[in-house]
Every structure is written in structure tokens, then in C-alpha cells.
A and B are shown apart, each in its own frame.
Chain A
Amino acid sequence: MSEIELQNLSKSFGDIDAVTDVSLSVRDGELLCLLGPSGCGKSTTMRMISGLETPSSGTVYIGEADVTDQPAYDRDTSMVFQNWALFPYKTVLENVAFGLKMRGMGKQQRRDRASEMLERVHMDGYESHSPTDLSGGQKQRVALARSLAVDPDVLLLDEPLSNLDKRLREEMEIELKDIHEEFQKTFVHVTHNQDEAFTLADRIGIMNEGRLVQVGEPNEVYRDPKNKFVEEFLGDTNFVSGTVSDIDGQYGYLMTEFDSEIRVPVASETQPETSLTVSLRPEFMQIAPITDSSNRASHQTRADGNGGGGVSGTVESTIYRGSSIRHVVDIGGEQLFVEQGVTDQTAIDEGDTVELRWDVDDILVFRPDGTRVRD
């Protein structure tokens, strides 16, 4: 069994707290992505799982065993490094066989096993090459083969795809997923790339400033972010701040920066005059041109009775982004952006007056300290 259990893990380097009180369970055979910006402590957390760092406090369990004080070379984990860390003075085959040699496996046996692993990652034929001759994608494959060769309980991947170009990265994502399914091992994958995490992960753990903010399945963390940081980090969105002017049951009216009120869902304890920030995600807003001249009251909010909401404004700029078009709409001096699929035939140009509409219940509401407002 190779589930991982981290209990109240902390690590400081001098005065710097790299990781603070992280508790996390990784299930056996799961692919968990630790996602967060640079310096959020995700790599340090992974290095503590591997044994390359010793925690300042807290406990690491792998399987049933407390491995907190076990050095890296005694642990049944294997890591794929960001720069792959292939041994430059050894051939590709020697690199892959290195872990087996350290485990005392006989020469012929470890060469066979290493060849088999190289074949699995489609690097057969490169056995006698020097790693310095290989391209980034090839090094990546060799590093993966080297880690898989020792048959670890846990495979740790420290941003191994971040040095690859987009196309190659996407290819490797698929391949990693295949390998995960084939080898049935527990994978912990560290990345700062949201797309990578969403593609690969069974569950995502989001870290910020040394703390684990939220853990959950990809759709869960995306749909139901725990705080403003997660909402901001997982995708592009519009944040609009304002003050609650009136409460109407489950909804409140927020006097916004663009000088108009919008209706937002609030919690029962929400009082008038409190400051809130709402997230208006581009994917739940529809954009439509306003042609009816009687409706041209600029930056007016509207709220129909069925939980719909919206504002109107002027299209300031239009950016083609391949599969979608991003419109930046000026509403009383503030900008909101919204996306339109390229197949959407509605022609919208810069300078047009448009209306943005949404379902009020889609709006996520945050307090000034970043926590979610919800019932």
C-alpha cells in the first residue's frame, strides 16, 4: 500500500517559512497535483515526501510507516526533477539502470530492466547516447524511465513538463496519464500550470504562501473555490468590488465601482454597508449587442425576476485568441472581459454598445479578507 499521509507538516529555512502546517492525504494509486504559484511551498512539500528535505515539524507517512526521519535513499519514492537531473557522465542506459545498481541488482538483469523501461517511454535505440545529446522531451522520457525502473511506491514529479514547449507538454500530459493508469502507482505531481493540473489530476491540492488552501477534484475546486486566491489562480475572471446597499432575502444589492448596482447572492449574516468582492467569470456571461435605442441607458443594471442579472457598456477592444474572441467592455470606466466562441455568429465590434447578462446564482462572492460568502 502506498498512500501518503502528511500531518501538520512545516518547513522553515532560517527565517523563511516555506511550508506551514500542511496536512494532506494522498490515496493509493491516485494522481494528485500540487498546484500553486512559484514559491508557494509545493516543491518543498514534495521534497519532504521524497526525503530530500527533513520537515521542521510534522510527520510524513508512506503506507503505514512513519518515514519522517528516513533519508531519501531509504525511501521507496522516486522523483522526476524539473531539469531532469540526468547524470551527464553516464549513458542513457546507465542513467536508467543507476537506481537498480544501487539496489544491488546484477548487471545483466538491470540492463534488461532499463532497456524495457526505455522501450516503454519510446526511447529504445538511445541506450548508448549521452543525456547531453538529447532534446528536452527526450530527457524528460529518460528521467521518467529512470524513476519508473526502480519500481517505486510513489512517483514524485517536480514540474517535469515546465521546460517543454506547449505542444510537447500536452503530448507528455497524455503519456503521463497513460503511464499512471498502466503502473497503478501513487503519483504526486507539482505544477504551477492550471491546465496541466486539470488535465492530469484525480485531485488537485492548491497551495499558496506555504499553506494548503484547498484539496478536491478538478471540477470541484473550479466550481466551488474556497477563497478568492483559488478563484483567481484557477482561471481568468473579473473581480468587482462594492458595498452592500440593500439586502433582499438571499440576495443583496452591491453598489459597484462602475456606479451601478448588481444583485448578488449573500449569506444570512451579511449586513448592509459591508464591502464585498464578486467574481464575474467570463464563461457565464453572455454578450449581446443592444440595438433598441430606447434601451440605451448606458451602464444601467437590470435585474429581472428570474435570478438574471446584467450590465451594459461599450466594447473597448476585441482580441482574437484562436478558438475564442475576448471582448473588453467598458462599464462606467471599469473594464470587464467576456469571451465569445468564434462560431458565435453575432458580430460585435469595438465601439458597440452591448449588454452582459448572467445568472445571479453563478456569481461567487468574497469578503475583503478573501474568504467566500456562502450559506
Chain B
Amino acid sequence: MPRNVERLGTAAFRIGYIAIFVVMLLPLGIVVATSFSASGNLQFPPQALSVQWYSAFFADVVWLRAFDNSLVAGIGTTVVATFMGITAAFGLEAHRGRFGSILTPIVILPLLIPPVILGVTLLVYFSRLGLRSSYLSIILAHSLWATPLVFFVMQSVFQRFDWQLRDAGMDLGANPIRVFVHVILPNVKSGILVSALLAFIISLQEFVMALFLSNYQTQTIPVLAWNSLRQSLTPIVSVVSTFLILVSVVGLLVAALATNIEFVAKRLS
């Protein structure tokens, strides 16, 4: 009898869990579905299916430019945030000093400030520097968010690294740069890949700061989506959203694969 109750409890938990999950993921399905709508309005479920909005997207110079802008901002953010996050985490783990304990709260600070406030503040600040509406301003703003996340991922990666390997490398004649390349990098490369993807996706989906910091020429996809939504609710926004979802899912798969390969390799050895 108690066994049946237990089974029932487990089943109920699973059903509830799946229900929550479905409710959370459902909007994504709706977005994808509406992108294939044949009608000119955003409607669900679509009355008829077509890919005309996909053609419209690829025919629209403004959208394509926004796509390029997002790509530039994303790659730029990935480079800046990955470099800064990795070096900070490496420095903290490799040379534990007094500075380390105050570094972590400082690094986390940008994540705690509302993006609206960051956006306004950065707008004033970058205008002063003459960087207003430039790619660089968007990249730096996004890096403010992406760097802490890269830092935390890499910190946990470096914590698991056996620092005796670094000693062994130095002892065998490798200078610090060669130690990093030949000894440390092979051990942490999947962590670097994961954190780089994370940085890219953060930049890709960030909207509020980009809204403040971009203009018509440099606007990213979320900014343009917002602007066009204010005028009309066309399914082209759903097309763009579908692309963003696709990019994020592919990124996640790559990350999962990279970490799993490491995991599988460890299991096999």
C-alpha cells in the first residue's frame, strides 16, 4: 500500500513537472508556428501555412543589417568578455592573493544593476567619449554582463584544474605562455568554448542596453524587433525570433556536446 502511494506521488510530481515545463516552453512553439503564417497579422494558430515571411525577411535590407549588427556585437562581446573573464579567473585561481576576495563582488556588480540604469548611464558616458551609437559601445555594454558569467564558468573550471601540472610544465622548461598554451589550454578548452557561447548568446538576446546605445545604423535584432512591433504586429518578428531561438539552441547543443565529450572521455579512461 505505501509503495503504491509512493508511486502515485512520483507520477504526480512528474506530471506536474512536465506541465510547468510545457507551459514555459509553449510560447517558443507559438512563435515558431506564427512565423509560418500566411496571413499578414500575428495569429495563432495560423489559418494557412507559408514561408512568405521568411522570404520577406531575406528581402528586407533593414533586417539583414540588424542581423549583421547582432553578429558584430555578438562576436565582439565574445572576444572581449572571454578574454577578460578567462584572464581574471586564471589570475585569481593561479595566484591566490589578498586581492582575490574583493574581486568576485566587483565582477558580479554589473549583473545586479538594472539594465535600464546601466543603459542610460552608459549612453551618457559613451557620448562623452564620442562612442555614441558605435558598435564598440554596444560591445562594451554587453561585455559588462557577459564577463562576469565567463568569469564564474572559468573560475569553476580552473578550480578543478590540477595546478601541479603547471608546475610540471614550468619545471620541464616551458615559460608561462607556453605552459598556458601546452598544458593549461588542453585541460580547459571545453570550458572556454562553453563560456564563449554563453557570452555570444547574452549579447544576441540583450535588448535594453542595446536600445539606448544603438541608432538606426547599428541597431541589433532585438532593437529592430521592438521598433517594428510598435508599428505593426507582422509575422516577420516571429521569423526573426525563430532564428534567435535556433541560434541559442544550436549554441546549447554545441556546449552540451563539448562538455559531454570531455565527460565521455573521462569515463572511458
Contacts and interface: CB of A to CB of B under 8 A. Distances in A.
Given A85-B167, A132-B269, A102 B183 contact: no
B169 interface: yes
Interface residues of A, number: 28
Interface in B131-171: 162, 164-165, 167-171
B186 A89 contact: yes
Contacts of A89: 186-187
Nearest to A134: B269
Contacts of B182: 98, 102
B165 A133 contact: no
Interface in A42-78: 50-52, 71-74, 77-78
Given A81-B167, A85-B162, A85-B165, A150 B172 contact: yes
Contacts of B168: 79, 81, 85-87
B170 A72 contact: yes
Contacts of B269: 88, 130, 132-133
Given A88-B187, A89-B186, A132-B269, A102 B164 contact: no
B7 interface: no
Contacts of A71: 170, 175
A357 B162 CA distance: 54
A99 interface: yes
A130 B265 CA distance: 11
Greatest chain A CB density within 10 A among B164, B169, B172 is at: B172
Interface string A123-160: 00000001011000000000000110010000000000
A77 B168 CA distance: 11
Interface string A97-136: 0110011000000000000000000000000001011000
Given A130-B269, A133-B269, A78 B171 contact: yes
Contact of B171 (A73, A83, A132): A73
Contacts of B2: none
Contacts of B175: 71, 73
B173 interface: yes
Nearest to B173: A102
Interface string B105-135: 0000000000000000000000000000000
B33 interface: no
A77 B162 CA distance: 21
A81 B164 contact: yes
A85 B168 CA distance: 6
B84 interface: no
Given A87-B183, A132-B269, A52 B171 contact: yes
12 contacts: A51-B170, A52-B171, A72-B167, A73-B170, A78-B171, A83-B164, A85-B164, A88-B187, A90-B186, A102-B172, A102-B178, A150-B173
Interface of A: 50-52, 71-74, 77-79, 81, 83, 85-90, 98-99, 102-103, 130, 132-133, 146-147, 150
Given A52-B167, A73-B170, A85-B164, 13 more contacts: A51-B171, A52-B170, A72-B170, A73-B179, A79-B168, A81-B167, A83-B162, A83-B164, A87-B169, A90-B186, A98-B174, A99-B172, A133-B269
